[in-house]
A and B are shown apart, each in its own frame.
Chain A
Amino acid sequence: NAGVTQTPKFRVLKTGQSMTLLCAQDMNHEYMYWYRQDPGMGLRLIHYSVGEGTTAKGEVPDGYNVSRLKKQNFLLGLESAAPSQTSVYFCASTGPPDRGHEQFFGPGTRLTVL
C-alpha cells in the first residue's frame, strides 16, 4: 500500500497563477483533510471531506477550493495564488471516528508563490 500520496512535491508559482494539488489514498478512508503548515504555527485546516462528493470549510479556507469526486482522491485548488499562500501543504486521511482516529499524512507539497 502506498498510503497517502501527494502531487507535486514542490512548486513555484507567480502571483495570480492557478494550480491544483492532488492527494490520493489507497486505505479506503472516508475522511480526508488539507492542512497548511507555516513556521511557528500549528497545522491549520483548510478544507476537509467526510466522504465522496462532500466537502466542508476548515479554519483557513479563503483562497482555496476543493473537490472529492472519487473517494480515494481529494484535490486542492488555488485559483489565483498569492504570496501569503507560500507554505507546506499536507493532505491527511482517516477512517470514521468509531474506527480509530489516527490521521495518516502524505509527504507534503512545498509551494512558493513569488
Chain B
Amino acid sequence: GQNIDQPTEMTATEGAIVQINCTYQTSGFNGLFWYQQHAGEAPTFLSYNVLDGLEEKGRFSSFLSRSKGYSYLLLKELQMKDSASYLCAGMDSNYQLIWGAGTKLIIKP
C-alpha cells in the first residue's frame, strides 16, 4: 500500500531550528513534496525533491533519501509566521500525490 508518515505536532522556539521528518511508501516514485498550510487557508508549495540530497531555499531546506524512503524539512531562524501545518506528499508512478496528515508546528516566543 501507499503511506506517508509524519509527526502530528511539533513545538519550537522563535529563532531556533526545527526538523520535520517524513517517511514514505509509494507505488513507484516521482518525487517528494513539502507544502505549508496556514490554518483556514490552502496549501502552498515549499519544495520538491526527486534526487537524493539537500535542496536549500532561503530559510527552508528539504532532504531526500530514496533508499530509505525518508525526507525532512528543515526550517531555520524560526519566525512566528512559520506557525502552520507542513504537509509531506509523495508522487507515485501515476503522478498522483499521496499526502501525509500534516505536522502542526507551534512556534513559541
Q: Do A and B bind each other?
A: yes
Q: Which residues of A contact B (CB under 8 A)?
A: 40-45, 48, 58, 90, 97, 101-108
Given A58-B96, A97-B95, does the pair A42, B87 have CB atoms closer than 8 Å? yes
Chain B residue at minimal CB-CB distance from A107: B42
CB neighbours of A103 from chain B (8 A): 45, 97
Chain A residue at minimal CB-CB distance from B33: A101
Does B4 belong to the interface (CB within 8 Å)?
A: yes
Our pick among B45, B95, B98 for the contact of A102 (Cβ within 8 Å) is B45
Could you jot down 13 A-B contacts, CB within 8 Å? Answer: A42-B89, A42-B101, A43-B43, A43-B89, A45-B96, A58-B96, A90-B43, A97-B95, A101-B30, A101-B33, A102-B45, A104-B45, A105-B44
How many CB-defined contacts (below 8 Å) exist between A and B?
A: 45
Q: Which residues of B contact A (CB under 8 A)?
A: 4, 8, 30-31, 33, 41-45, 48, 87, 89, 91, 95-102
Q: B42 contacts A105, CB within 8 Å? A: yes
Given A42-B4, A42-B87, does the pair A105, B95 have CB atoms closer than 8 Å? no
Given A45-B96, A101-B33, A101-B48, does the pair A40, B42 have CB atoms closer than 8 Å? no
Instruction: Give the CA-CA distance A40 to B103 in the complex, in Å.
Output: 10
